[in-house]
Chain A
Amino acid sequence: MSDEAIYQGMLAFIDAGQASDAEFNAKALEIFAHQFEHNLPYRRFAMQRAKTPRSVRSWRDIPAVPINAFKDLTLSCRPAEESARIFMTSGTTRGGIRGQIHHTTLAVYDRSMIVNFRQRVMAGADRLPMAVLFPDEEAMPNSSLAHYLALALRMFGTEGSRHFIGADGLDIDGLFAALAAAERTGEPFALLGASYSFVHLMDAMERTGRRFALPDGSRILDTGGFKGQSRELEPDAFYGQLSARFGVPRGRCINMYGMTELSTQFYDDGNATCPSLKSGPHWIRSRVVNPLTGQDVPPGSVGVLVHHDLAHINSVAAILTEDAGILEADSGFRLLGRVAGADAKGCSLAVDDFLTAARG
């Protein structure tokens, strides 16, 4: 099948609005065959596990690549020179080495984001006045999050919506003015950004005692966690403070869970309770596995999340994360934090300590 046919087929799959188990499976096998054929490191990886398009009948048996692999291998179906865009991971683990994810086109990535965002975040609204607490794509061309947020702004923001982080950092005065304007007009407002940017913003508001009561229907979207860029807050405290500072009920404080290594995002339906239930659209499915064997854990048990994202065509659809989770039958999963980085039970040195020391 030609690349063009694969990409067109996937766009149609997204636009279909739903997929049965059989349809998901068939599409997953088709994408696996494509990736097995064109992505050579992935083919070697799959063959090492004795999984080939001939032998695999269920999407669950398609081998999932550990996210660390993106740091060592170029996992791309087309030569790297043909990449239209390379997204890079943040390098918060393993001594700052950053993984690279190649996209020959962002057509499917963008369609995936738009369709899903419209349904889960806009929830009936066409456009909203938006403020983005993150640098723009020009400042961070290798950030998938910068691309995601720029796309949200372009597709769903009203006139005047913009980024509030620039070369001089967070434009607090401008942001306060925008929030105050929303209070005055009574028009619902959307505040989007990295979780740690919200912490910085709330710290600044704390100092001046500033609070807002955004109009009904306003929403907040945070993503990405704190990554050592701000204080770490427990989810309950974080959403409690967000809600109190901006007057947005916790049920409208949405967390997006995404990864540079994927082309599709997961959302919850607000954070009235934590950990919230995360789910994705019909072209992505998740499993919870034992990281050592790769086998599914018994239903209801904690394991490591594997995401199978059919929209991630040029790279690898099946990704083994380092996130612990628990699957809730058919409705999604709860995210329980990162798995890696276990301390030794005894007195031998573990990797994290060693790296910490090596960094000084």
Chain B
Amino acid sequence: MAAVGSAEYAGHLPGLSADAVERRVLTFRGVGGAVEVAVPVLTAAQVARVAETVRAAAHGYLKTLTVAEIVTILDRAVARLLDRDDPWRQKAERLLPIVTGYDAEMVRLGLTGYLKTFRAPELRKFLAEDFASPQILDDFQPVPKGGFARAFGPDLLLHVWAGNVPALPLWSLVSGLLVKAGTVGKLPSAEPLFAGWFAQLLAEIDPRLGDCLAVVWWKGGDEAAERAWLAQADTVVAYGGNAALAAIRDRVPVTTRFLPHGHKISVALVSRAALDPRRVGEAARLAAHDIVRYDQQGCYSPQTLFVERGGRVSPRDFAGCLAHELAALARKFPRRELSMAEAGAVASWRDAQEMKGFADPGRLLLSDPAGGWCVGYTEAAEGPAPGGLNRTITVVAVDSLDEVAARLAPAKAFLQTAGIAASPEELFRLAGPLGAAGVTRICALGRMTAPEAGWHHDGRFNLLDLVTMTEIERSAEIAADGFARYAD
């Protein structure tokens, strides 16, 4: 165990005194300096203690709040994080670029855009998406079939977060709190700060609420720690690659609800309607934005662009415009420094594109000499294969966008977002086949990395999937009448 003198303390541990907790230091080095993050390493007894504290606090407090009250508290926390003068916000802007490696301005803009989707009106949309009447979380509400129903969140909801996209855990963390779940989140080692800060900020605003959630850490794959937590939870939301998810699933007790979110692939479609000299620059700029934001590390990031032939600008020329925009954005938002493995993946993808080009005139590779971005262009009938990530994109020319859905279908299990630039007729004509092929989100080109409030992540119900319904059937109501004091 290293010394933890000036380290940033990660996590949030109600029920434990700070000096009783062992810490491990993760060191991050970036352009703006180095930061040491001291993550908590809990004993089995401490795991049980934290779980008990959270469960009891949620029972005694969170579950007694109305959903409207919860929205108000969350909104106050989000408002603080949107305020650039607030110390929490300043800390996030200072440390997240170092920890994740992303460009500071990209992180700043990304945080603001993202946090805006958690303001009170947006949270209400979030609730309305899944519940006809959000008060169903507070009390029994009449339901159309007759009788009443009330939704109960888990007593202890465990989130296993993954990835380095800044603040990403907020989606599921907020979802859990909205359904009044006692909440424990496992920090991702690649971004072990934001979720803990959010919990600490909530505790600052409402100390009693602070006891209703914990943010913990264990080393990914640490079976003993994982089992200890999995045994405590009644619902588990987990993010990660399929191998990691399969390992977790095997350890989740059969009576525990398991909600996995695997890694995903996203694509973009550009119609010939967007390919005239007046519009093409804008389409290329928006596509480049989607590629550059978080260096394609998000599940919503495009890896393949299908571009339609027959417009006044050819798909090949579109690839050139896209390369131009990527070059411009590389100056504005430099790519994060890559590990040797990541650089190897980019180089290997780029070199493979180049080699294929020698044998096939229908291919083209445009790239920055230092490999800062790469555009592969092909006329072959290719599907949505992952590229080398970190600003590598394949532009696939197609005769008609109507061909795309069939090419996506084999990757159904992995599909997520389709960004689209097309006319209204095309949009609605394509949406059906795309959905059938497995696409769960269709958005404007340029908005791929910024899902709107209340989106259904991977096509699932973020809130509804977490709750159980208790229904009072009509029969109980009628029978109760017979026992009323006023019964004849």
Contact = CB atoms under 8 A, between A and B. Distances in A.
Contact of B263 (A66, A304, A320, A349): A349
B299 A348 contact: yes
Given A73-B359, A322-B348, A354 B343 contact: no
A351 B299 CA distance: 13
Contacts of B356: 72
A341 B344 CA distance: 8
Interface string B372-398: 000000000000011111000000000
Interface in B191-246: 239-243
Nearest to B365: A48
Nearest to B299: A347
A228 interface: no
A346 interface: yes
A73 B298 contact: no
- Chain B, interface residues (CB within 8 Å), range: 35 or more
A45 interface: yes
B370 A293 contact: yes
B355 interface: yes
Contacts of A69: 351-352, 355
A293 B348 CA distance: 12
A292 B298 CA distance: 22
Interface string A317-360: 00010101000000000000001111111111111011011000
B358 interface: yes
Contacts of A351: 345, 349, 385-388
Interface stretch (B16-24, B115-123, B160-168): B160-168
B354 A48 contact: yes
Given A324-B340, A339-B340, A344-B263, A292 B241 contact: no
Interface string B235-273: 000011111000000000000000001011110000000
Interface residues on A, range: 35 or more
Contact of B358 (A44, A290, A291, A346): A44
A73 B355 CA distance: 7
Interface string B402-444: 0000000001011000000000000000000000000000000
B346 interface: yes
Nearest to A351: B386
Given A68-B348, A69-B352, A348-B297, 18 more contacts: A66-B347, A72-B352, A292-B371, A304-B344, A320-B351, A340-B345, A342-B344, A342-B345, A344-B297, A345-B190, A346-B299, A347-B299, A348-B296, A348-B386, A349-B303, A350-B389, A351-B388, A353-B263
21 contacts: A48-B354, A68-B352, A72-B356, A322-B348, A341-B345, A345-B100, A345-B297, A346-B298, A347-B239, A347-B263, A348-B297, A348-B301, A348-B303, A348-B389, A349-B299, A349-B414, A350-B386, A351-B385, A353-B242, A354-B385, A356-B243
Interface of B: 100, 162-165, 168, 190, 239-243, 261, 263-266, 294, 296-299, 301, 303, 338-352, 354-356, 358-359, 369-371, 385-389, 411, 413-414
Interface of A: 41, 44-45, 48, 66, 68-69, 72-73, 290-293, 302-304, 320, 322, 324, 339-351, 353-354, 356-357
3 residue pairs, one from A and one from B, having the closest CB atoms: A346-B297, A292-B371, A339-B344
